[in-house]
Amino acid sequence: MDLLSKIKEVANSSEFIETKNYYFQTHLCSNDNVKVMLDYTLSNDKDDNILRFGICPKCGRCFYHKDYESKGF
């Protein structure tokens, strides 16, 4: 799956849920525990914001984690 199709998938997500975990989120989806990996990262150089996200393959919910990164230029 290429990056553009992943961005389209995020835009069409049914729900956006913030998580405290940086790497993955487990949730109950259709009576199954699903582990959603936060494999994708968006960053903004202007204010050092980082957004890690992943999408549940069953229900289409997008889980994300907001973070900050200090850049040592």
List, for residues 59-70, the tens digit of each pLDDT value: 999 999 998 765
pLDDT in tens, 9-67: 888 888 999 999 989 999 998 889 999 999 988 887 777 788 899 999 899 999 999 98
Task: Let me know: does 56 contact 9? Beta carbons within 8 Å.
Answer: no
pLDDT for the residue numbered 73:
38
For residue 10, what are the domain limits?
3-68
Total count of domains within the chain:
1
pTM (two decimals): 0.79
Classified as helix, coil or strand, 7 is helix
73 located within any domain? no
Q: What is the pLDDT of residue 1?
A: 54
Element (H, E) at 31: none
Q: Where are the beta strands (DSSP E) in 1-73?
A: 16-18, 24-29, 32-37, 40-44, 49-55, 62-68
